[in-house]
């Protein structure tokens, strides 16, 4: 499906294209380094809602237009007008929760600056890969606010409390190599290989049982907010569902028959 098609647009701030089961969503405001404004939020929510119901989409890749930025944060001209009610409504936090809870695998392909909300939405994705030009940071304290779209919580869970506090309090940016070393991203590539690498990872996931990958994602995330014993109970329940699924029967039959499986997600 081509960018701007009836199913995924036209969007004012995003490009969306489905190829081989992968929906590539490109934040398309390069003139402002793809900064997130209200329209970006509305467009992304609409695209994700469409993708959720689209059986041709098995995975989603998020990236930014141009070479300078993935997303260089929120649109400061709008942030200047925010009030305590804006924070309590937390539209951006809720949007990033939608990304995190999206049932299909999500990959952030980070090119250039991922600052503030850009770093936060990348952390909401299941997998993060980075171009060597990528730079990550949460500079909000310089404006006397904090990373309030889930950034304080997701960063600590990804890289540990001590490192998270240091990065949030200082606003220090980290390059791609440091991001990989501390566990913020899982792979670093050359800029011209970034999208190909994201598609390669997506294709690897799509070759596996879709119901299993969906439940694995759910179990891992649910377990992060529970003690280990509770997490393992959730794990057993998910496994019980999978043991009686059509895909489990197909997967084992294909393995024993030495043929590629034909999964249906059932």
Q: Residue 81, exposed/middle/buried by CB under 10 A (0-12, 13-18, 19+)?
A: exposed
Spatial separation of the C-alpha atoms in residues 148 and 50, rounded to whole Å: 26
Spatial separation of the C-alpha atoms in residues 171 and 189, rounded to whole Å: 25
Half-sphere exposure of residue 143: CA atoms within 13 angstroms, side-chain side: 17
Active site residues: 120, 140
Instruction: Find the helix packing angle between 151-159 and 117-124, rounded to 10°.
Output: 60
Q: Which residues contact 238 (CB under 8 A, 6 or more apart)?
A: 215, 216, 218, 219
Q: Respond yes or no on whether the N-terminal peptide bond of residue 10 is cis (omega within 30° of 0).
A: yes
């Amino acid at each position: 499906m081509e960018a701007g098609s009836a199913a995924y647009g036209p969007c004012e701030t995003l490009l969306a294209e489905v190829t081989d089961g992968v929906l590539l969503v490109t934040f398309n405001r390069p003139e402002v380094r793809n900064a997130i404004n209200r329209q970006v939020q509305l467009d992304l929510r609409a695209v994700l809602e469409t993708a959720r119901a689209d059986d041709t989409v098995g995975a989603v890749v998020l990236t930014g237009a141009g070479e300078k930025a993935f997303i260089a944060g929120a649109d400061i001209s709008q942030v200047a007008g925010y009030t305590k009610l804006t924070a309590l409504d937390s539209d951006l936090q809720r949007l990033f929760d939608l990304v995190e809870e999206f049932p299909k695998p999500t990959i952030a392909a980070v090119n250039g600056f991922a600052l503030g909300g850009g770093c936060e939405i990348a952390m909401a994705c299941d997998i993060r890969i980075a171009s060597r030009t990528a730079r990550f940071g949460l500079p909000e304290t310089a404006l006397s606010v904090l990373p309030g779209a889930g950034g304080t919580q997701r960063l600590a869970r990804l890289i540990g409390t001590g490192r998270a506090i240091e990065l949030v309090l200082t606003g220090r940016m980290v390059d791609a190599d440091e991001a990989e070393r501390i566990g913020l991203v899982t792979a670093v590539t050359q800029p011209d290989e970034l999208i190909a690498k994201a598609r390669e990872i997506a294709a690897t996931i799509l070759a596996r049982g879709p119901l299993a990958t969906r439940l694995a994602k759910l179990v891992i995330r649910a377990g992060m907010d529970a003690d280990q014993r509770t997490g393992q109970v959730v794990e057993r329940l998910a496994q019980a569902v999978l043991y009686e699924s059509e895909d489990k029967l197909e997967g084992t039959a294909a393995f024993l028959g030495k043929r590629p499986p034909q999964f249906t997600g059932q």
